[in-house]
Amino acid sequence: MKKIYANMILVVVTVVWGGGFIATDGALDALSPFYIMMIRFVGAAVFPLLICWKKLRRLDRATIGHGIVTGIFLFLAFAFQTFGLKYSTPSKNAFLTATNVVFVPYLLWLLWHRRPSRKELIASLLCIVGIALLTLKKDALMLGFGDMLSLICALFFALHIIALERYSAHVDTVCMTALQMMTAGVISTICALTLEQPPTSFNWHAAGNVAYLIFVSTLLAYLLQTFAQKFTTANSASLILSMEALFASIFSFLLLGEVMSPPMILGACLIFSSILYIEYKPGRKKKEKQQDICRKKV
């Protein structure tokens, strides 16, 4: 698959996750954070486990270990994000979660000495400025407890993106998704049963939010992300996935009646610009044209 098609799939993932912010915020009205994670990950693990159970039994220890590590990063990212959302606002949580776009190139440099290019750094900073304009309000300069949790969440999302780039290339998409969901589900279940009280009430509104989190925001989104990251880079993936904040704002505008101000529109334009900037490679087109000219002469 061409990289551009993989990136388009990641855009679909960001649309799904944009709705996930609203669904998580709604589910928190009836459920505690670890119970939400337990339900969404265990529920999302059932379908891929049924499909690829025989394949999973034939995987070697190294591959299983890679899937478990990726699932641990996923659990930690969602744990800090969900608790961050409980103690912060959805807009600040969305912004701080999206700062993983800055963490990714530096983590690649730190862990594997893959020095980020000037273009990657400019694109990531441009994207962060856009997300800030899109999501932050005037009173958002001070960081509270929930905001610090959201920043830690961004670090683990960056590690998850990098792990998928390294580990998903030679593993079946459904198997890798099953390993991730199963790992995150088991840890979430242990935390929910030992650290939190069971929910005392559960209404249809909460059930709808949880259903969206299980089948759309988790199962579908991570199947698509795991597949797409076989054909694109971690830096490109982190930039595109940062559009989650953009679609969270759009859904808030459409469903919750939030106002889209001029700074928010400017921020949306900057996010799109950063992605176009990192993906546009004029040199490649020139080389292709030169090759075509040479063929015609021959």
Mean pLDDT of 16-23: 82
- Model-wide pTM > 0.75: yes
Residue 193: the pLDDT is: 95
CA distance 149 to 155: 10
pLDDT tens per residue, range 143-199 = 678 888 988 999 999 999 999 999 988 889 999 999 999 999 999 999 999 999 988
Residue 290: pLDDT above 60? no
Q: What percent of the chain has pLDDT above 90?
A: 43
CA distance 189 to 37: 8
Contact criterion met (CB below 8 Å) for 123 and 281: no
Residue 152: the pLDDT is: 93
pLDDT tens per residue, range 35-93 = 999 999 999 999 999 999 999 989 999 999 999 999 999 999 999 988 887 787 776 77
Residue 101: pLDDT above 80? yes
Residue 291: the pLDDT is: 47
Residue 282: the pLDDT is: 66
Residue 239: pLDDT above 80? yes
**DSSP state string for 124-193:** HHHHHHHHHHHH--TT-SS--HHHHHHHHHHHHHHHHHHHHHHHSTTS-HHHHHHHHHHHHHHHHHHHHH
Mean pLDDT of 272-278: 85
CA distance 198 to 6: 40
CA distance 159 to 10: 17
